[in-house]
Structure 1
Amino acid sequence: MQPENDGHKSSVQSEVSNDSTVNHNIVTAPNNEQEKTPAQPETPIDPLEEARLQKAKRTKRILTFLGLQISLFLAALDSTIVATALPRIGSDFNKMDIVSWVATAYILTFDAFQPLFSKFSDIFGRKLVLIFGICLFLFGSILCGAAKSIVMLIIFRAVSGIGGAGIFSMVFVIISDIVPLEKRGSYQGLINAVFAMSSIFGPLIGGSFTEYVSWRWNFYINLPIGGAALAVLFFFLDLPVPKGKLIDKLKRVDYVGTVIVLSFSTLFLLALNFGGQAFPWKSAAVIAPLVISIALVGLLCLVESKFAKEPLMPPRLFKNRSVLGALLTNWFFGMSFLGMLYYLPVYFQVVRHDTAMWSGIRLIPMQMIVCTVSTSTGFLISKTGRYRPLLSIGLALLSLCLGLLSLFDKNTSWSRVYGFTIIGGLGMGCMFASSVIALQAAVEKKDIAVVTGLGSFSRILGGALGVAIASTIVNSTLTQDLPLRIPSEQAQQVLQSSAYVHNGLPEEYLDTVLEVYTEGLQLVWHVLTGMAGAGFISSLFIKHHEMRKRGPPIKEEEKTPTDEIVIPPQENIEGAVIVDVADTKKEEPAKSRL
């Protein structure tokens, strides 16, 4: 009986593979099912019907990708849209002393939950995690818009941040699922362009709503747009659901690792936000969280390597030279570029006396370059299959930009300002798509979700550290130098509020204060240049992996939900399941070279 089954299996595969309209692998059903299912006669395909089906599939893919882009845009937009609304929010609630936590709460949970959602999607499925993230994000937005106190608003912003983390991590993971590695660069470039656009329009949209409508509409605006994206993805995004009972899936969750990661990231980010602002850096309120977070890293290493059955962060990944190099590169890249994005507006507003709105407008040329270059380099990666040179080029350009920023003073021409920042935009554009691809190309499919989440996690954590270092440098420079150069009463006023520099400071002290600010910012640019340089060195440790190779076959017991992706569902054939050829090829291990 067995030879007959084999013959039947071969005939089905032969008939399908010879059809010019079908490009799939066939995974045959078990033999006992084939014995019960008679062979079906080949039916001629109507060309008009085939064209209609292809058009429907194309429309479905476009709608799915648009839904992913819109979801990512909203999640990223929420991290910047409140920047220009904070003064009005603080005034309305009469809580200017803690209003910055409206922004901080979102960023804190947005980062802390990135690696968790990535791993949970391996267990519960990508679509379920994405839909959960969007729903939680929209629910948090409703609560934020209706908040009756500043404390309620801060708590609800943290809820929105959790949802935003689910959206952000899942968009990148789903793109890696549905797009073959060799074509993924172009899609990653488009996705990163959307992310960059959010940083352009966030402050502008937030300022417009705050000035002409209400700051609450900065949150309500998410509902109609996010609701449309949710509907599109719910009906058109087809992803497989991992097999197994819910109780079995819950047993797979690394609960101890989850608690440790959340505790570590929360304490680390709290310490960085407290330091130099709410409390001195030498205070127990700052030192204690930092020490505990470092201890938690050691505990996490022990738990993940010795006790966790399905680790949240598999230790084997950190033994991979390319993964470790890419994570360090993301860390230093986050430190340098986020530090620059946060402190360029300080230069514009304090040294050049720009309004908050104008400081955002002056960043538009750089951000437009980021969008253009990110998209272009993504297509370049897809065409050439090479991503490693872009990492080094991007960080070299970013280092050059930061070094040139140290030449800025109150008299620097605007042509130089725009020219130097555009160089930074070129560097950042080269980095966004290539930094994600570098991680995904270095691992097997079963680890793609985890390394994608880790990449975002390390970049945002590094960025938080970069901003904290920059803040410490500026505050220390002002604290040490101002009392020596102007009366202590005036120095204290400047230290309490930068707005006092142009609204209250006597004219005779203005040039001196601007000079001290410039010196502090110049030191910031020097330090960030060193961070970008460290990222450049880290990028040299990343091996180049051929993108058209998929790595060794994954054993049956190690398969994850992404191993048999069906997007979109194809023609059903009795006794067989259609699987995309890009996700099931069994080829030689990916070659790598320096």
Structure 2
Amino acid sequence: MPPISTTDSDNKPIRRVKYKRGLILLALQASLFLSALDGTIVSTSLPRIGSDFNEFTIALWVANAYNLAYGAFLPLFGSCNDIFGRKCTLLAGIGFFLVGSVLCGVASSMIMLIICRSIAGIGASAIYSAVFVIISEMAPLDKRGSYHGLINAVYAMASIFGPLVGVGICLRRELLTLTYLLRTHTHTGRFHRLSQLAMVLLYQYDMDTPKSIDYAGILLLIPSVTLFLLALNFGGSMYPWQSIEVLVPLVLSVVFCCGFIVIECKFAHNPILPPRLFKNQSIVATLLTDWMFGTCMFAFVFNFPLYLQVIQGNSAMWSGIHLIPMQLAICISSTVAGLLISISKSYRPGLWIGMVLLGCLIGLIAIFGITTPYYLIYIVTVIGGIGLGALFSSTIISLQAAAEPKDISTVTCLNHLIIVLGGSVGLAIANSVLTARLIADLPSAVPFEYIQPIVKSSLFVRQGLPPQYQEAALQVYSQSLRMVWYSMMPFAVVGLISSAFVKHCNLQSTDSSQLNNTGTDTPKCNDEIINATA
């Protein structure tokens, strides 16, 4: 009698593990896509939002409130991942995001809308922190790059669709509040299904070894980050930099930060940001690279559309469309960079190449003028997109490779927090440089009564300025934007230099790179993590 083949029975558990891994990845991608989409969807809808509520002067805070809450709560949820578990943090984030989105849909005033956007931002912060930590536990360190590449590509795709969906909303004749409500109801159904999927698939959290909560650190860090971001949002746009409205938040931010450092170094039993992380050369060098990366990237993302709209005369919709090739380049580059990291077992070339290409982007757009052809704009922005994608995938792997397994959640959230903080600094510098150059150079190009309208509204150059002054005003605006790019070049150089100090850590396919479900140092096999969902 011929022997019975056991091939099918042997392969069945492997197929089951791969199937569950794919479902988990799909659920994580869906949750991250929706939260990232909600972060960018209002960027092109702010004028309509302000008009519907008759509160255009504070409409910008609909976006700022989301970003402030998102950045301020990242360290907190990084700690929650270890204390309460990744699953609980993800579901809590989905709950916050769902409640905030629904309340946005029924908001009856601008103040209520801003508060509800803050709630949604808190949820998005928890979703981001949990998603990237779960991804880190799904794969060994040497394979993690490909997973992070796919997740970063999803995040970039949401950045593409967000502004375009916002433009679509603006083009509709229905009230924005009704449209927003319908959209949030769509989110509600999706998140109900996503929550059920996550409940079934994600591994259970073991509370055998609970950790203490760093209440003092939380109460000092969140106000410090929030006040810092508030000051940077106020300065140069709403109030002068030397005004009390800007200086008081900055001083209080420094005071809270100093208190936080003392608490973390001297008293905290389970610090939210362990001081040992900042004794690691590779972690410090990567975080400095992150800061410079965020500074240059945010300055570009928020100011290059000004070039397309003011200098090139595009509408908000077309300026977003012209940036789609760059966003696609980010998606592809992030995925390819992650795969190359998994194949080559080396992440440092991604840091170096990314910073070089980011520097090339900043340098090349500095030569753009009124007559720059679009094919050149596409080439340069695609080059920059390749660099940005490489940095997204490389920086997080660099931090995780240098950190101890018990610090994976912390460094993962710290990675994005530093990018956000650096980006806020970049926006403040870019806004100050642009405003200062316009105020200094416009008097020689246009009559005095047109200076303040041009400074306060970029649309005035094309839509309100008399035709005989437009060419001169465009030249001044172009030169002012050029000074913005010049001011970003030192940051790109510092980022490249700091990336050279990142040490190579061996990316081995070993179980020691994995955390178990208790959030401790105990190694756990990658397959065991997936099988724990059964």
The TM-score normalised by the length of structure 1 is 0.84
Residue 395, structure 1, aligned to residue 395, structure 2:
no
2: CA distance, partners of 1:195 / 1:554: 24
Q: Specify the code of the residue in structure 1 equivalent to 2:59.
A: V
2: CA distance, partners of 1:207 / 1:242: 46
Please tell me whether Structure 1 or Structure 2 has the larger radius of gyration of its CA atoms: 1
How far 1:568 moved relative to its partner?
Answer: 2.4
Partner of 1:331: 291
Point out where structure 2 has 5 or more consecutive residues left out of the alignment: none
User: CA contact under 8 A between 1:57 and 1:568: conserved in structure 2?
Assistant: yes
Q: Specify the code of the residue in structure 1 equivalent to 2:412.
A: T
Q: Specify the code of the residue in structure 2 equivalent to 1:437.
A: I
Partner of 2:129: 169
1: CA distance, partners of 2:199 / 2:515: 31
**Where do 1:281-300 residues align within 5 Å?**
281-300=241-260
Residue 196, structure 1, aligned to residue 196, structure 2:
no
How far 1:470 moved relative to its partner?
Answer: 0.6
1: CA distance, partners of 2:289 / 2:161: 27
Residues 413, 310 of structure 1: alpha-carbon distance in 2 compared, 3 angstrom cutoff: same
2: CA distance, partners of 1:218 / 1:468: 32
Residue 535, structure 1, aligned to residue 495, structure 2:
yes
Partner of 2:16: 56
How far 1:509 moved relative to its partner?
Answer: 0.8
User: CA contact under 8 A between 2:406 and 2:515: conserved in structure 1?
Assistant: no
Task: Please point out which of 205, 208, 227 is paired with 1:240.
Answer: 205
Task: Please point out which of 64, 74, 77 is paired with 1:114.
Answer: 74
1: CA distance, partners of 2:287 / 2:513: 25
Residues 314, 364 of structure 1: alpha-carbon distance in 2 compared, 3 angstrom cutoff: same
Partner of 1:458: 418
Partner of 1:493: 453
Q: Secondary structure at the match of 2:531?
A: coil
Partner of 1:93: 53
1: CA distance, partners of 2:5 / 2:277: 47
2: CA distance, partners of 1:45 / 1:562: 37
User: CA contact under 8 A between 2:204 and 2:533: conserved in structure 1?
Assistant: no
Q: Specify the code of the residue in structure 2 equivalent to 1:176.
A: S
Q: Secondary structure at the match of 1:409?
A: coil
Partner of 1:17: none
How far 1:373 moved relative to its partner?
Answer: 0.9
**Where do 1:351-500 residues align within 5 Å?**
351-500=311-460
Deviations 1:99-135 (A, max 9, x none): 0000000000111111110111111111111111011
2: CA distance, partners of 1:559 / 1:467: 36
User: CA contact under 8 A between 1:321 and 1:542: conserved in structure 2?
Assistant: yes
Partner of 2:169: 209
Partner of 2:112: 152
Deviations 1:181-216 (A, max 9, x none): 010000010011111111111111122133235441
Partner of 1:223: 188
User: Which sits farther off after the overlay, 86-95 or 486-495?
Assistant: 486-495
User: CA contact under 8 A between 2:102 and 2:185: conserved in structure 1?
Assistant: yes
User: CA contact under 8 A between 1:444 and 1:550: conserved in structure 2?
Assistant: no
Partner of 1:182: 142
User: CA contact under 8 A between 2:511 and 2:524: conserved in structure 1?
Assistant: no
2: CA distance, partners of 1:111 / 1:555: 25
User: CA contact under 8 A between 2:137 and 2:529: conserved in structure 1?
Assistant: no
How far 1:224 moved relative to its partner?
Answer: 2.6
Partner of 1:141: 101
2: CA distance, partners of 1:101 / 1:330: 25
Q: Percent identity?
A: 44
How far 1:55 moved relative to its partner?
Answer: 3.2
Residues 554, 525 of structure 1: alpha-carbon distance in 2 compared, 3 angstrom cutoff: closer
Count of matched residue pairs: 523
Residues 470, 219 of structure 1: alpha-carbon distance in 2 compared, 3 angstrom cutoff: farther
User: CA contact under 8 A between 1:272 and 1:465: conserved in structure 2?
Assistant: yes
Residues 131, 537 of structure 1: alpha-carbon distance in 2 compared, 3 angstrom cutoff: same
Deviations 1:388-433 (A, max 9, x none): 0110111011101110101011111111111111111111111111
User: CA contact under 8 A between 2:100 and 2:116: conserved in structure 1?
Assistant: yes
2: CA distance, partners of 1:554 / 1:237: 16
User: Which sits farther off after the overlay, 483-492 or 214-223?
Assistant: 214-223
2: CA distance, partners of 1:235 / 1:101: 37
Point out where structure 1 has 5 or more consecutive residues left out of the alignment: 1-43, 573-594
Compare the two structures and name the one with the higher helix fraction: 2
The TM-score normalised by the length of structure 2 is 0.94
Q: Secondary structure at the match of 2:200?
A: helix
2: CA distance, partners of 1:200 / 1:474: 26
2: CA distance, partners of 1:237 / 1:554: 16
Partner of 1:513: 473
Residue 125, structure 1, aligned to residue 85, structure 2:
yes
Residues 526, 563 of structure 1: alpha-carbon distance in 2 compared, 3 angstrom cutoff: same
How far 1:229 moved relative to its partner?
Answer: 2.1
How far 1:243 moved relative to its partner?
Answer: 1.8
